[in-house]
Amino acid sequence: MSSAPITQAWPIAPRIQSLIDGISPALRAGGTDLPIVNPTTEAPISVLREADAQEVDAAVMSARRAFDTGPWPRLDINARKDILYAIRDRVRAHAEELAWLECTGAGLPLARVREQVQRTARVFEFFAEVASTLHGEVYSQSKGWLTWVTREPKGVAALISPWNAPLSLASMRMATCIPWGNTCVLKPSEVTPLSVRRLVEILHEAGLPPGVVNLVNGRGSVTGTALVDHAGIDLVGFTGGTATGRAIMTAAARRLVPAALELGGKSANIVCASADIERALDGALVGIFANNGQQCLAGSRILVQRPVAAEFIERFVERARRIRVGDPLAPATEIGPLAFEAHRDRVLSYAAIARADGARLLTGGRRAAIERGWFVEPTAVLAPSNETRVCQEEIFGPFAAFLEFDTVDEAIAIANRSKFGLVSYVWSEDIGTALRCSRDIRAGTVWINTPMMRELRAPFGGYKESGVGRDGPAASVDFFTEQKATIVPLDPPPVHRFGA
Ligand code: NAD
């Protein structure tokens, strides 16, 4: 991955709009414009035209037409795959532009964003492959009968995504949905709309037929609810916070449509005395500070075994103080600004919450000494118990909470005493310990001796309040396709003749 700076700036439209049937809808008088602000400079950079219920209706109707009568679900799989590959190629060709937009709009560091853009390209390729190898089932055991089971696309999906990794999370939602022939309406976060709007344009430039992906922009309370409540929606795919997930599932239940939810986390990062401590230290720092600390899979509760705890925590703090915080477009930057002002304030409020709960502030807990921008110093606290708020609530920023433990059983119990269960990290060179943690921790993913590694072939999703359903080839096929059984007699049996 290049570590070169980005020397070019790309134009940002003065008003970011929805994209329906492949074009921006006509502006209606009296619509709402929301400010779009650069989190690094605090300067307004554009406005977002919010889609109201009428515009959401137009988007759903477009997706409906594309599904009910359009070419996409009826295309030969090779033709569909060619378009998905063309999307991959066009994302790569525009990688620097997308990265620049993501840094500018979301404040994520350039090195990280460049990886996420490459993954954005990869997920379209990956799920195109999965769709092209999809096959049905045949049953011939019942004498004289043949039954076969085929998969069909499910229909029009509402896809809703958050602001913490706008491109990679919106692209995961779309790439797991459309390859089977579904169409969708995507509502990204109203806070970080720039990169996703450009991505949806790129999808169309690559040959995606109009109406397959429609984009609506706006707040959850306006655009999001209008979308999820719309009668033309057949299913809902959501990535975001747990409280919103609950509201979305309730709305989906009212209409009796399925919902898949990727939600929050408060994941345990267990460092055993038997760990390769250097690697565990690097991994713990990545686990909490990558992506500006704004990641669902953050290792935000760092559990360290007592014999190594004092030195480990001291070294962690020393490293945290040296992290390069600054302009996300500078290639050397490790942590950029948080995505928006209210979120910065919320993250900082946890310093006082920690103190009130008897936790010791080890470093950070305040704004970084940078004149402008929503920067926070990398923060770490030592918590007196797992029951404190900093150990139970998702802070979603560069904020680590340390806990100490004696036995591995105790660490597993602490890891599991959480309403969340998204991921977990375990550091130990003792194979029995590592495998026991993997077996007993209730989380959708366990990483052993590594920070985050996203294997697209494996399911990803949460236990408990971290989600319902999984992303991944098998899980996405199950969620985004219907199964149809067709039954035919080969030796037609006599049919009872009622009334004969
Ligand atoms: P959020 O729940 O506030 O918003 C997510 C999206 O939902 C946004 O587009 C928002 O506009 C929309 N929304 C809000 N209320 C809605 C409603 N009533 N109806 C329809 N849509 C609505 O989440 P966020 O603050 O944008 O993102 C951070 C959260 O996302 C964190 O909790 C994080 O852990 C979670 N997350 C989870 C994963 C995962 O894969 N499990 C990945 C990334 C982020």
Q: What is the pLDDT of residues 78-104, one digit of tens each?
A: 999 999 999 999 999 999 999 999 999
pTM metric for this prediction: 0.97
Q: Are residues 182 and 65 in the same domain?
A: yes
The mean per-residue pLDDT over the stretch 144-159 comes to 98
Whether residues 351 and 475 share a domain: the answer is no
Q: Which of 296, 341, 345, 466 to mutate to test the pocket of ligand 1 (most atoms within 8 A of CB)?
A: 296
Cβ neighbourhood burial of 222 (10 Å; 0-12, 13-18, 19+): middle
Residue 162 sits in the same domain as residue 188: yes
**Is 498 inside a domain boundary?**
no
Residue 460 token pair: 């990803």
Reference 363, options 389, 393, 325; nearest CA is 325
CA 485 vs CA 164, 181, 221: distances in Å: 41, 19, 40
Q: What is the pLDDT of residues 466-500, one digit of tens each?
A: 999 999 999 999 999 999 999 999 999 999 999 99
In a domain, 493, yes or no: no
**Residue 124: phi, psi to the nearest 5?**
-65, -40
In a domain, 323, yes or no: yes
The two beta strands, 481-489 and 145-153, are antiparallel
> What's the gap in Å between 240 CA and the centre of ligand 1?
2
Q: How far is CA 407 from CA 51, 270, 395, 412, in A?
A: 54, 11, 27, 9
Q: How many independent structural domains does the chain possess? A: 2
Q: How far is the CA of 244 from the centre of ligand 1 (A)?
A: 6
What's phi and psi for 21, nearest 5 deg? 60, 30
| Centre of ligand 1 from the C-alpha of residue 158, in Å | 14
Residue 383 alpha carbon to ligand 1 centre in Å: 27
Give the number of the atom of ligand 1 that is nearest the alpha carbon of residue 422. Answer: 41
Q: Is residue 252 part of a domain?
A: yes
- Does residue 152 sit in the same domain as residue 292? no
Q: What is the mean pLDDT of residues 63-71?
A: 98
Is the confidence at residue 134, as pLDDT, over 90?
Answer: yes
Q: What is the mean pLDDT of residues 442-449?
A: 98
Ligand 1-lining residues (CB < 6 angstroms): 160-164, 169, 187-190, 219-220, 224-225, 228, 239-241, 244, 247-248, 262-265, 296, 394, 396, 422, 462, 467
Residue 495, domain member (yes or no): no
Q: What is the CATH number of the domain that holds 408?
A: 3.40.309.10
Q: Which of 280, 320, 321 is nearest to 304 (CA)?
A: 280
Residues 296 and 148 in one domain: no
Q: Letter for the amino acid at 478?
A: D
Same domain, 203 and 258: yes
Which residues are tagged catalytic?
A: 262, 296
CATH code, 230: 3.40.605.10
Q: Is residue 209 part of a domain?
A: yes
Q: Which ranges of 94-218 does DSSP label H, i.e. alpha helix?
A: 95-106, 110-132, 166-175, 194-205
Same domain, 243 and 381: no
Question: Do 355 and 477 share a domain, yes or no?
Answer: no
For residues 284 and 255, state if they share a domain: no
Residue 203 alpha carbon to ligand 1 centre in Å: 23
Note down the domain range covering 66: 15-263+466-485
Identify whether 61 is part of a domain.
yes
3 within some domain: no
186 and 45 in a single domain? The answer is yes
Mean pLDDT of the chain: 98
Same domain? For 37 and 186 the reply is yes
Q: Is the pLDDT of residue 7 over 90?
A: no
Looking at ligand 1, which atom is closest to the CA of residue 189? 9
- The ligand 1 atom nearest the CA atom of 227: 20
Q: Does one domain contain both 336 and 365? A: yes
